[in-house]
Protein backbone atom coordinates (compact mmCIF):
# COMPACT_ATOMS: atom_id res chain seq x y z
CA UNK A 1 0.00 0.00 0.00
CA UNK A 2 2.87 2.34 0.68
CA UNK A 3 4.06 2.07 -2.93
CA UNK A 4 0.55 2.72 -4.18
CA UNK A 5 0.18 6.03 -2.33
CA UNK A 6 3.57 7.19 -3.63
CA UNK A 7 2.56 6.66 -7.26
CA UNK A 8 -0.55 8.83 -7.07
CA UNK A 9 0.25 12.47 -7.61
CA UNK A 10 -1.04 14.93 -5.10
CA UNK A 11 -1.67 18.49 -6.13
CA UNK A 12 0.63 20.75 -4.21
CA UNK A 13 0.56 24.50 -3.79
CA UNK A 14 3.44 24.87 -6.21
CA UNK A 15 1.52 22.91 -8.82
CA UNK A 16 -1.55 25.11 -8.47
CA UNK A 17 0.25 28.47 -8.66
CA UNK A 18 1.09 28.32 -12.40
CA UNK A 19 -2.50 27.37 -13.20
CA UNK A 20 -3.87 30.27 -11.16
CA UNK A 21 -1.34 32.68 -12.63
CA UNK A 22 -2.22 31.76 -16.18
CA UNK A 23 -5.94 32.08 -15.40
CA UNK A 24 -5.40 35.65 -14.21
CA UNK A 25 -3.38 36.51 -17.33
CA UNK A 26 -6.05 35.36 -19.82
CA UNK A 27 -7.91 38.71 -19.89
CA UNK A 28 -4.69 40.50 -20.82
CA UNK A 29 -3.96 38.11 -23.68
CA UNK A 30 -7.01 39.28 -25.58
CA UNK A 31 -9.51 36.49 -25.39
CA UNK A 32 -12.19 38.89 -24.16
CA UNK A 33 -11.74 41.55 -26.83
CA UNK A 34 -14.69 43.35 -28.31
CA UNK A 35 -14.93 43.59 -32.09
CA UNK A 36 -13.05 46.62 -33.40
CA UNK A 37 -16.00 47.67 -35.60
CA UNK A 38 -18.07 48.75 -32.60
CA UNK A 39 -15.28 50.89 -31.23
CA UNK A 40 -14.52 52.72 -34.49
CA UNK A 41 -18.18 53.49 -35.19
CA UNK A 42 -18.59 55.45 -31.98
CA UNK A 43 -15.33 57.37 -32.57
CA UNK A 44 -16.24 58.44 -36.11
CA UNK A 45 -18.92 60.88 -35.01
CA UNK A 46 -17.89 64.39 -35.89
CA UNK A 47 -18.48 67.23 -33.44
CA UNK A 48 -18.63 70.99 -34.01
CA UNK A 49 -17.92 73.59 -31.34
CA UNK A 50 -20.54 76.32 -31.09
CA UNK A 51 -20.91 79.43 -28.96
CA UNK A 52 -24.22 79.99 -27.18
CA UNK A 53 -25.66 83.52 -26.71
CA UNK A 54 -24.66 83.55 -23.04
CA UNK A 55 -21.01 82.92 -23.99
CA UNK A 56 -20.64 79.24 -23.11
CA UNK A 57 -19.08 76.74 -25.49
CA UNK A 58 -21.05 73.65 -26.56
CA UNK A 59 -20.02 70.60 -28.61
CA UNK A 60 -22.75 69.48 -31.02
CA UNK A 61 -22.81 66.56 -33.46
CA UNK A 62 -22.41 67.59 -37.08
CA UNK A 63 -25.36 65.41 -38.08
CA UNK A 64 -27.59 67.37 -35.68
CA UNK A 65 -26.52 70.64 -37.30
CA UNK A 66 -27.47 69.37 -40.75
CA UNK A 67 -30.97 68.50 -39.54
CA UNK A 68 -31.42 71.72 -37.52
CA UNK A 69 -33.74 74.54 -38.54
CA UNK A 70 -33.70 78.21 -37.58
CA UNK A 71 -36.26 79.05 -34.90
CA UNK A 72 -35.82 82.84 -34.88
CA UNK A 73 -33.40 85.38 -36.31
All residues at 6 or more sequence positions from 1 whose CB lies less than 8 Å from its CB, including other chains: none
Show me where the domains of the chain are located: 2-67
Rounded-to-integer distance, Cα 44 and Cα 60, Å: 14
Is 0.85 topped by the overall pTM? no
pLDDT over 90 (residue 32): no
Give the other-Cβ count within 10 Å of 39's Cβ: 11
Tell whether the model's pLDDT for residue 70 goes beyond 60.
yes
Q: How far apart are CA 50 and CA 54, in angstroms?
A: 12
pLDDT confidence of residue 72: 82
Q: pLDDT band at 5, cuts 50/70/90?
A: low
- d(C-alpha 64, C-alpha 47), whole Å: 9
Amino acid sequence: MASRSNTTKKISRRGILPVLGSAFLLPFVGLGRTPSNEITDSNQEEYKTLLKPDGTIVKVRASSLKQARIVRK
